Structure formats: C-alpha cells, structure tokens
C-alpha cells in the first residue's frame, strides 16, 4: 500500500508500549491516527494524532467510541487491534471474572471492533486489518494461561477472517510479537502470590525468567516498523513474528518441525519447571 494512501488508521492501546510506538511512527510518516485508550489523559500529543476514549471491557464504549472516530475520519484504511492486558497466577486460583474480563479485552473487544469496521473498510480500494496477538499463543507462558489462550484465540480468529475475506480488498495480518521490552510487565495483575513452599517457588521462577527476558528483549519500535512494512506491502504475509532471532526465526521453525511433547519439554526447561 502506498504511503500516501494510508492516511486514516484506528489503533487501540495507543497510550504506551507497542501501541505508542506505532502511533509515533505512523504519524511521523504522514498517517492520521485515531488512537484509543481507556484513559484518554495517557494518550500522546502528536501531530496527526486524534485521541479516542475507548474501554474495550465495555461493548457500549466500543460502539460509541468507534462511531465518533468514524464520523471524524470519514473512513479507515487500517484497523490495528493492539490493546493488551495480562494476568499472572495459577489457573486454579485466578478468579473466573478476571478470566472473563481478560477475554473481553483481548478477544471479544477486538472482534466487536472488527465487526463495526468491516462494512466501511470493505468499501475502500484497499484496507488492512492487523491483529497484534502474541507468540505466547503458540508457546504458552506458565501461570499466564488466560493471556496465552486469549492470544491464541485472536490468532485463530485472524486466520478464519482472512479466509472469509479472500478475494476482497481487505487484507488480514496476525502480528505475533515475542518478548518486547515495554512496560507491559509492570501492568500485569499477579494473583496467587501468597502461595507457600514449592508452589510459590515455581511461580517466582517463571516470573523472574519472564522479567529477565523482557529486560533483554528488542524495543517496541521493532514491532512498529513491522506494522509499517505490512501497510506498505502489496500482499503482506498472513502471519508476522517479531522479536529477537531465536523467538522470531528459530522458535516458529521448531514449532513446525518438532513434536508438541518435545516443544513442551523445551519450554519447561526454559522456565525451569
């Protein structure tokens, strides 16, 4: 897609981390970005950036905010579902309402936003839907079952939608970041930390492994650049994995070549479980 035609973008989770870097890069390269966050005060003040208050935990908020943004933009060339949330803790003790909230923000909210955006996006000469899921959908993170499962669901939804829209001008791309050095870890809700003995030690081991990997991970600009390349491409790939060499290149290849039991053993060794 030529850069002069990608002028109107709707982006969720634009207040920090990957979303903030996407907003900075796209506006710097001439795009008009309607960036959404639950807390509008946290959104950046940038040229060509239009703040949108949207709470993905509420379908009413999604519908009202989308309608307002659509009126302002007159139509979107790209929708980027980026907003994220995390919860860390043993599956047996994570409250059911927290899991439901997780899936609302990471799966049901994006699906509702896509449903609202499809009619007008399909009318454009060419448009792009980018769902930013996670490599955790392929390589689940222990004690982050809800997050891993929700990201896997978003990836599956992207694949289905891509087939449904085959032959239309709307391209669907699943972007799967590996570990990226963002403030995301600081916003993860941790439950079950009061466990004692071996259970607490196992949780702490995984938590520290994740924290160490995030600190050494590539910056969020790498994901923003990948998004820009997708918008520029005539025929972008259905899945784009972003991260360090091991996660972005070797891990997806290993997942295709080796049995699931072997990959699970590798993950347990990595997390020292």
User: Domain for residue 254, yes or no?
Assistant: yes
254 CB-contact burial (10 Å; exposed 0-12 / middle 13-18 / buried 19+): middle
Domain that holds residue 199: 8-270
- For a pLDDT cut of 90, what percent of the chain falls above it? 70
Q: Which of 34, 49, 66, 147 is catalytic?
A: 147
Q: Say how far residue 44 (Cα) sits from the centre of its chain.
A: 19
Q: Do strands 8-12 and 78-81 pair parallel, antiparallel, or not at all (unpaired)?
A: parallel
* Lowest-confidence pick of 53-62, 233-242, 243-252, 262-271: 243-252
User: Domain for residue 2, yes or no?
Assistant: no
Q: Which residue has the tokens 């600190």?
A: 215
User: Domain for residue 161, yes or no?
Assistant: yes
pLDDT at 84 over 90: no
User: Domain for residue 15, yes or no?
Assistant: yes
* Lowest-confidence pick of 48-62, 90-104, 109-123, 249-263: 249-263
pLDDT digits (tens, 9 = 90+) for 116-148: 999 999 999 999 999 999 999 999 999 999 999
Quote the CA–CA distance of 229 and 131 in Å, as a whole number.
15
Confidence of residue 6 (pLDDT cuts 50, 70, 90): low
Quote the CA–CA distance of 206 and 54 in Å, as a whole number.
33
CA geometry: angle 267, 88, 152, nearest 5 deg: 60
User: Domain for residue 3, yes or no?
Assistant: no
User: Domain for residue 121, yes or no?
Assistant: yes
Query: In 167-199, which positions are buried (b, 16+ CB within 10 angstroms) versus exposed (e)?
Result: eeebbbbbbbbbbbbbebbeebeeebeebeeee
pLDDT at residue 4, as a whole number: 44
- DSSP string computed for 229-244: HHHH-SS--SEEEESS
User: Domain for residue 1, yes or no?
Assistant: no
- Whole-model pTM: value is 0.93
Task: Report the CATH number at residue 125.
Answer: 3.40.50.720
Beta strands in 66-194 (DSSP E): 78-81, 87-88, 127-132, 170-177, 189-190
User: Domain for residue 120, yes or no?
Assistant: yes
Beta strands in 92-214 (DSSP E): 127-132, 170-177, 189-190
147 is annotated as an active-site residue: yes
Domain count, the chain: 1
């Amino acid at each position: 897609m030529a850069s002069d035609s990608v002028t109107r973008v709707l982006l969720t989770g634009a207040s920090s981390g990957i979303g903030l870097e996407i907003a900075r890069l796209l506006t710097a390269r001439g795009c008009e970005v309607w960036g959404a966050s639950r807390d509008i005060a946290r959104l950046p003040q940038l040229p060509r950036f239009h703040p949108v208050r949207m709470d993905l935990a509420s379908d009413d908020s999604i519908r009202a905010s989308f309608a307002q943004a659509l009126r302002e933009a007159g139509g979107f060339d790209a929708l980027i579902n980026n907003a994220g949330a995390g919860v860390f803790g043993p599956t047996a003790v994570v409250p059911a309402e927290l899991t439901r909230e997780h899936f609302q923000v990471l799966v049901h909210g994006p699906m509702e936003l896509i449903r609202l955006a499809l009619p007008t996006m399909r009318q454009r000469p060419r448009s792009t839907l980018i769902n930013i899921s996670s490599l955790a959908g392929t390589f689940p993170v222990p004690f982050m079952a809800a997050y891993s499962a929700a990201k896997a669901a978003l990836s599956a939804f992207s694949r289905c939608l891509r087939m449904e829209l085959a032959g239309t001008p709307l391209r669907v791309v699943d972007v799967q970041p590996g570990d990226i050095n963002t403030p995301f870890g600081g916003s993860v809700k941790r439950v079950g930390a009061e466990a004692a003995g071996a259970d607490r030690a196992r949780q702490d081991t995984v938590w520290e492994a994740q924290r160490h990997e995030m600190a050494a991970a590539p910056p969020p600009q790498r994901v923003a650049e990948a998004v820009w390349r997708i918008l520029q491409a005539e025929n972008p790939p259905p899945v784009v994995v972003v991260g360090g060499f091991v996660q972005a290149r070797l891990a997806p290849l290993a997942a295709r070549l080796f049995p699931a039991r072997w990959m699970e053993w590798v993950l347990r060794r990595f997390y020292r479980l």
